[in-house]
Copies of this chain bind each other. A is one copy, B any other.
Amino acid sequence: MTRQRLYAPGPVPVPPEVLAALAQPVVHHRSPAFRDLMQRVRDRLATVFEVPGDDVVVVTGSGTAAFEAALLASVGPGEEVLCLRSGRFGEKWADMSRRFGLNVTELAADYGTEYDQPALRSALQNAPGVAAVIVVHSETSTGMLHDVAAVARTVRETAPRALVIVDAVSSLAAAELRPRAWDLDVVVSGSQKGVMVPPGLGFAWLSERAWHRVGPRAPTYYLDLRRERDRQRDGQTGSTPATSLIAALDVSLGMILTEGLGERWQRKERLNAALLAAGEAAGLRRFAQRPSPATAALATPDGVDASALVAALRDAGVYIGGGQGDLKERIIRPSLLGYADEHDLMTLAAALESAAAEVGLGTRPGAAAAAAAESWVGSSPG
Contacts and interface: CB of A to CB of B under 8 A. Distances in A.
Contact of A242 (B6, B96, B199): B199
A27 B11 CA distance: 8
A33 B28 CA distance: 31
Contacts of A221: 64, 68, 95-96, 99-100
A13 B245 CA distance: 16
Interface of A is mostly: loop
A19 B29 contact: no
A26 interface: yes
Contacts of A26: 6, 11-14, 192, 198
Interface string A1-26: 00010101011111000011011111
Q: How large is the interface on A (under 10, 10 to 19, 20 to 34, 35 or more residues)?
A: 35 or more
Given A198-B244, A200-B244, A222-B68, A4 B19 contact: no
A199 B8 CA distance: 26
A111 interface: no
Interface stretch (A55-63, A257-265, A284-292, A372-380): A55-63
A12 B26 CA distance: 7
A211 interface: no
A320 to B, nearest CB: 10
